[in-house]
Amino acid sequence: MAELTEAAFSDFYRRDARDVWTYVYRATGNAADADDIVQDAFVRMLRADVGTLGETDLRRYVFRVAGNLMTDRWRRSGRERPLPTYEMAARGTQVDVAETIDVTHTFGALKPRERALLWLAYVEEDTHEEIADALGVKRASVKVLLSRARARLRDLLKGKP
């Protein structure tokens, strides 16, 4: 079993933990849950045989583990929690706060996988291959799943169930 060296793990954690935390927080809307899930994802990575993986593959691995942990948590809870209202500091710009809050809550109404797909595609700007690896789906499915997630978000924003 090849192990990840302490220095390599430390560098990886410093470089990528914030991105993983942000992804989990945006999907769950809960900072405490994000802390727990990210910690658990990195612990699982340490216990796994990942020493031979490159930097990109390690990143995919930890995002996938975090995604799986979120799914497990949502299944255990039996319900989805709404995303919190985010404070908007809009100095010098015009921001429709009501519309922003509506989008935030609407994003929270998406299924966990839909949120993850949209986040990885449009915020993290991952490729379809990276998204497939992170979420454990086939690469050919990503395009269809993203299209459905966008359509569902559009329908929710227009007030359609």
CA distance 108 to 153: 10
Residue 90 lies in a domain: yes
Domain contains 92 = yes
**1 falls within a domain:** no
Do 86 and 108 contact (CB within 8 A), yes or no? no
Per residue in 10-60, pLDDT tens?
899 999 999 999 988 888 888 899 999 999 999 998 888 777 788 888 888
CATH assignment of the domain containing 37: 1.20.140.160
The residue assigned the tokens 């039996």 is 78
pLDDT of residue 131 exceeding 90, the answer is no
Beta carbons within 8 Å of 8's beta carbon, 6+ residues apart: none
Which structural domain range is residue 135 located in? 6-157
Average of per-residue pLDDT across 88-107: 51
Q: CA-CA distances (angstroms) from residue 131 to 38, 53, 62?
A: 18, 17, 12
Task: Give the closest residue to 124 by CA, choosing from 49, 66, 52, 43.
Answer: 66
Alpha helices in 2-161 (DSSP H): 6-28, 31-47, 55-77, 97-109, 112-118, 128-135, 139-157
Question: pTM of whole model > 0.75?
Answer: no
Q: Does residue 32 fall inside a structural domain?
A: yes
Q: How many residues would you count in the chain? A: 161
The gap from C-alpha 93 to its chain's centroid, in whole angstroms, comes to: 28
Task: Give me the number of domains the chain comprises.
Answer: 1
Token pair listed for 161 = 């169930």
34, part of any domain: yes
Q: Is 74 among the domain residues?
A: yes
CA dist., res. 97 & res. 59, Å (int)? 34
Please state, as a whole number, how many other Cβ atoms lie within 10 Å of the Cβ of residue 10. 11
When comparing pLDDT for 9 and 102, which is higher?
9
